[in-house]
Amino acid sequence: MSRGWLTLAAEVAGAMDAGGPVVALESAVLSHGLPGEEGRALSIRVDALVREAGATPALVALRDGRAHVGVRPEDAGFLLSKGVMKVAERDLSVAVGIGHSGGTTVSATLAIASAAGIGVMSTGGIGGVHLGEGTGDVSADLGALCRYPVVVVCSGAKAICDTRKTAEALDSLGVTVVGFRTGWMPAFLARSERVAVPHRADSLGEIASIATAKLEMGSRTALLVVQQPPEETALEESVQDRAVAGAIARARAARVEGAALTPYLLAAILEATDGRSLGSNLALLEENARLAAAIAVELAVRDEPAGR
């Protein structure tokens, strides 16, 4: 089904028309975040996990100037092509107007999911306030989180971000942050107990009640649900800290900046952790998709008309 610049896959449109649970999935992690074959395999696993939980997966991506919601894993090969854009919210009009293809970041996925009427999305980690004094590097994800009333499941801010400053920014922007079965903000690849979250919820029912209350009150900000990465694959926090510090130092020495910086840092962290960061990243992406699907199912059940 097409709505101007937006195309919903028939499966997604059907699920939404029936009031069924749908989970939006960002695609920049496939186009720019993971090695090609790892990304392809991940998309298949995440698709299956969301379906097993009873929801419909809706991978979001730009293709030839159209925002597609519900790209199937077998059709997502174009995201691995050389030259595809990394599309943030600010880039959407350019991509649509000129006809680009690209993977959507959290900010762009939020904007598209909201336009499509999807209320839940999953990602690995949000962008935040980047590490380093005086960098002034603040992700557009934070601004999007205060504009779109979507439930976003993640494992905190990406490893290259300052967890404390990101939490403070979310607070200033009025974004509701809830820890799922944790009272602490996760450190993405590592479990952490450094920065407390404002609220904790220990059940899907509590998360659904908070999300429902936000909508009924007319809130226009996201509900950010954070959970710690799986314990069996998480890095030790000190290991992540050293890897990130070393990666930042290498980037400065090599004078890497702009759009090339994040991919450079992620590659350096992968090298510094002997590949462990990739395993942690993949595991938390899967776990977050599973939780997002469970939340979407809980919300859909609550919305069912009596006697249906």
Q: Which residues are catalytic?
A: 26, 158
CB atoms within 10 A of CB 160: 24
Question: Which residues lie below 8 Å from residue 58, measured CB to CB, with a gap of 6+?
Answer: 9, 12, 22, 23, 24, 25, 69, 70, 113, 116, 118
Report yes or no: 175 and 222 within 8 Å, Cβ to Cβ.
yes
CB atoms within 10 A of CB 156: 32
* C-alpha distance from residue 273 to each of 113, 119, 189, 234 (Å): 34, 36, 11, 12
Question: Which residues lie below 8 Å from residue 148, measured CB to CB, with a gap of 6+?
Answer: 110, 111, 113, 114, 220, 221, 222
Q: Quote the longest CA-to-CA distance of the chain.
A: 65
CA angle 184, 268, 271 (to 5 degrees): 95
Question: Which residues lie below 8 Å from residue 17, measured CB to CB, with a gap of 6+?
Answer: none
CA distance 126 to 145: 10
Sign of the CA dihedral running 171, 174, 180, 181: positive
* C-alpha distance from residue 171 to each of 77, 180, 223, 296 (Å): 38, 18, 12, 25
CB atoms within 10 A of CB 245: 13
